[in-house]
Amino acid sequence: MHSLYRPVAELMEQVAADVVLPRYQNLAEDEISEKAADDFVTIADKESELRLIEGLSRILPEAGMIGEESAAADPAILDRAGLGLNWIIDPIDGTGNFAAGHPPFGMMVALVADGAIQAGWILDPIDGRICHAVVGAGAFLDGERVSARESGSALPVAALAVYFMTPERRADIIERARGRLTLVDIPRCAAEQYPRLVLGQNDIALFERTLPWDHAPGVLFLSEAGGRIARPDGSPYIVGDGRKGLLGAASPRLWDESAKILFG
């Protein structure tokens, strides 16, 4: 595992215990707001990000900080996501679920150098599950090495996040999948979706919006576990490139098959 695995994991666990879980199912109405349509932020998101930034600054002072809520306040922060060494921070992923008082939701951190993901951490605050990956060194679940596995379903199990697509593209994707993929509800939480691909619950996941804090840790976790994730044209995900569209699968074979179905 990464040399910083334990310090970062312990920081995330402490912030979850101090900030996130005490607010879960305990938010006042004025502690929840919408940044945009169907895009929520809570006081816990803001407090969690501040604590994570403070702790990560001590762990690796030379790295920059790119947090979801900081970027919401100052979009120019995102412009340097692919430049230099940066911590990428999602203080609460699945905020809509968190604000509604139900799982799944998670916390995500990645270390990125010039757009290349070096390491990632995904914490489920409720059950304490932590997914971790290091570039070139593997994926780990609660400290044990893990490999991605397919669900074994007759038709690949697909979670297609189409809600950021145009109506026309959404209709086209659903029609292409009809009878060729088993469609399941998405968790609306990338911190849950990526583990599902590795753990054999889902075979395929399709995303349209691919902001760094939502995807950097999961992209590395799935890749290092032996799955495949790429842009629809097969090119790699690079933090900060500003592109849309991302297809993940539990194996390279499933990626090729699903790409033909959805984009062929």
Q: Locate tokens 């139900």: which residue? A: 102
Average pLDDT value for residue range 8-16: 98
Q: Parallel, antiparallel, or unpaired: how do β-strands 116-123 and 106-113 relate?
A: antiparallel
Q: Strand 157-160: give its sheet, edge to edge.
A: 182-183, 157-160, 204-207, 246-249, 228-230
pLDDT at 39: 81
pLDDT at 234: 97
Per-residue pLDDT tens digits for 150-199: 999 999 999 999 989 999 999 999 999 999 999 999 999 999 999 999 99
Q: How far is residue 17 from each of residues 24, 167, 190, measured CA to CA in Å?
A: 11, 40, 21
Is 122 buried (19+), middle (13-18) or exposed (0-12) by CB count in 10 A? buried
pLDDT at 38: 73
Average pLDDT value for residue range 253-263: 98
H-type alpha helices, 135-251: 167-177, 190-198, 212-224
Residue 144 in tokens: 């044990």
pLDDT at 34: 84
Per-residue pLDDT tens digits for 72-122: 999 999 999 999 999 999 999 999 999 999 999 999 999 999 999 999 999
Domains of the chain are 5-145 (3.30.540.10), 157-263 (3.40.190.80)
Residue 37: is its pLDDT beyond 80?
A: no
- The pLDDT > 90 percentage for the chain reads 96
pLDDT at 35: 81
**How much is the pTM?**
0.96
Residue 128: is its pLDDT beyond 90?
A: yes
> How large is the angle between the packed helices 167-177 and 252-263, nearest 10 degrees?
120
105: part of which helix (H) or strand (E)?
none
- Indicate the average pLDDT of the chain: 96
pLDDT at 83: 96
Q: How far is residue 211 from each of residues 93, 200, 219, 239, 240, measured CA to CA in Å?
A: 12, 25, 12, 8, 8
Q: How far is residue 49 from each of residues 59, 61, 87, 89, 178, measured CA to CA in Å?
A: 15, 16, 12, 7, 40
